[in-house]
Amino acid sequence: MTFVQLVAIVVHEYEPAIRFFVDVLGFELVEDSPATTTGGSPKRWVVVRPPDAQTGLLLARADGQQQAAIVGNQHAGRVGFFLRVDDFAAHYQRMVAAGVEFVGPPRKEPYGQVAVFLDIAGNRWDLLGPAPQANQADVRAASQLGSGRTPQGAATMTDDDKYIRRAIDLARQARERGNHPFGALLVADERIVLEAENTVVSQNNPTHHAELNLVQAAWQTLPSELIRRSTLYTSTEPCPMCTGAIFWSGIRRVVFSFPALDLGAMAHDRFCGPCRQLFERAEQKTEVVGPILPDEGRQVHLGFWTTA
């Protein structure tokens, strides 16, 4: 058997590179052993690898000015690495939430979905996934939604509790990353198809609320029929900006945990208000369910707005 065993990536330091590939991209740390350069200087032999893959990456710390000069530019600005994943939407959103820099939005090509991102050194990668396919079940469910009938697979109250708790978990993760405590997810056919966190601080953009991040990623990665028959779950009732984004995206069911008015009182923000009032102005109706488990939704905000 013949195969490429390792490909070297030159980095400035070992630890940030290991954290990026292991904690952010989900690679495995295969080896981290002491070694020496050809000149006798100490170095480390660090190998990371995607799960179940054969080819690994050798993370090589730059040794000298000549090597340092090529960090992040091993392929002269071209895409030099290609990461293939089965669940493109989940990987993309998780990377966005972790602060990975994408050169542009995802796009659909004949060979599948693709988005270009930069690794810890600045090298360009293609994140590659299969092309989303809308099947006949998707089309039938979208037709049912347009006629006012409940699509098969719509969430029950028990499911609502489960998915709301996941949204609250995402809000907690966002807070741990230094962002505002909000999380959201999209559910169709009793499964989570996309998740998002607030990234206002990490991406230095006041509009990067969890729901808006979710809607944007959904339209970049999912079939429109799937989006329109999905339920959006959010840890806190959507603000007016996110309410508008949800409506224009075609999502017609929203479930929230912590009420906007209660958040407004906690954060001393009078701009917050019931999203139902905005949705009710539209001719196309959106079902709003909540508050669901509001005490649990409130917990993630405790102590945040007094220091934010």
Q: Which two tokens stand for residue 246?
A: 């949800």
Q: Which two tokens stand for residue 291?
A: 């508050």
* Helix H or strand E encompassing 59: strand 56-61
User: How many whole angstroms separate alpha carbon 169 and alpha carbon 25?
Assistant: 20
Q: Is 99 helix (H, G, I), strand (E, B) or coil?
A: coil
Segment 188-242, tens digit of pLDDT = 888 898 999 999 999 899 999 999 999 999 988 888 889 999 999 999 999 999 9
β-bridge pairing 231-236 and 28-36: unpaired
Task: Give me the active site residues, please.
Answer: 211
Check if the beta carbon of residue 190 is closer than 8 Å to that of residue 151: no
Segment 167-197, tens digit of pLDDT = 999 999 999 999 999 999 999 888 898 999 9
Check if the beta carbon of residue 235 is closer than 8 Å to that of residue 254: no
Q: What is the dihedral of CA 26, 31, 32, 33, to 10 degrees?
A: 180
pTM for this entry? 0.53
Check if the beta carbon of residue 39 is closer than 8 Å to that of residue 89: no
User: How many whole angstroms separate alpha carbon 108 and alpha carbon 125?
Assistant: 16
